Structure 1
Amino acid sequence: MPGRHPFTGHGPAAAGDCATPVLNAQLNIGDGRFIDLPVRFVYRARAPFSVVMEFPGSDPAVGTWEFARDLLWKGLHRPAGMGDVRFAPPCRCHGRRLLRITLRGDDGTASIDVPVEPVHSWLRERSFALVPRGGEAELIDWDAELGRLAGGR
């Protein structure tokens, strides 16, 4: 689910926020050609189920993508995802050593190859340290969410 979630990356992150350093990813432009694409993953404890993937320095029209943190974790280990966001882990048999993220939107499909180790380490050492896997629901004010969904705000 694409959406705009700015994260300036200047100064310390807000309490409960963490981000990877800017990673050098590769955007597949077809015919076995790639161009460099900076990416950063951001986690916010106030939105405990999701991770935002940003493209620092890119045209604002590129936007950001938000998807389940658990989906990213699964995608590091096995193919995961349906619909707009899909992950394919490194595959030795095909000579691919990077995490492939496929994003599908109204304007087309993009395949982005991201280094695995920094994402894996960041999830384990930073994101899961803020909110352990399985502990996300404890941070949600379910009464407020139900009220918002029912139109009560």
Structure 2
Amino acid sequence: MSMDITLEQLTRARLVTAEDLEVPVAATLRYTADDPLAVFLDFPAEAALHGEEVTWTFARSLLDQGLRAPAGHGDVQIWPYGRTRTVLEFHSPHGMALLLFQAAALRRFLMGTYELVASGQEDVSAVVERGLSTLFGGV
């Protein structure tokens, strides 16, 4: 089986500004069987602080936990907001971004990732090997 299977889901979010305004932004949720422990969230240039496309990467398990209860610490934190929305909070050297997503859309994406690679079936050794190889300048 080829491991370049990718799931992409276009989603809408609301960026909460410093003035507490909610600005609609488009984002793409991405998951690849090549990197089964991670999910990727791509933002177009117009949604990013510096006018360049931005991709945030975080653990799939964090998304899973954050849909049910506050989860994460450090750069990415996720928690339920009311009954229908979920907050994703991102921290970078450039500042902080707070985004509201429809929980149902995040849940649908998450379920899709589990259809590609079931929980507990991730080939962690390959990921670790690739990470170490990258770290030490291998192929």
Whether the 8 Å contact between 2:4 and 2:34 is mirrored in structure 1 is no
Q: Return 5+ residue gaps in structure 1 as ranges.
A: 1-13
Partner residue, 2:55: 64
In the TM superposition, 1:114-129 aligns within 5 A as 114-124=101-111, 126-129=112-115
- TM-score with structure 2 length normalisation? 0.82
Secondary structure, counterpart of 1:18 in structure 2: strand
Q: Return 5+ residue gaps in structure 2 as ranges.
A: none
Displacement after TM superposition at 1:147 (Å): 5.0
- TM-score with structure 1 length normalisation? 0.75
Q: CA RMSD in A?
A: 2.4
% of aligned pairs identical?
Answer: 27
Whether the 8 Å contact between 1:19 and 1:42 is mirrored in structure 2 is yes
Count of residue pairs brought into register by the alignment: 134
Alignment match of 2:21 (pick from 18, 21, 33): 33
| Counterpart amino acid of residue 72 in structure 1 | L
Displacement after TM superposition at 1:131 (Å): 0.5
Partner residue, 1:9: none
CA distance in 2, matches of 1:146, 1:34: 41
Displacement after TM superposition at 1:121 (Å): 1.4
Q: Which has the higher strand share?
A: 2
Partner residue, 2:72: 81
CA distance in 1, matches of 2:130, 2:16: 42
Whether the 8 Å contact between 1:17 and 1:45 is mirrored in structure 2 is yes
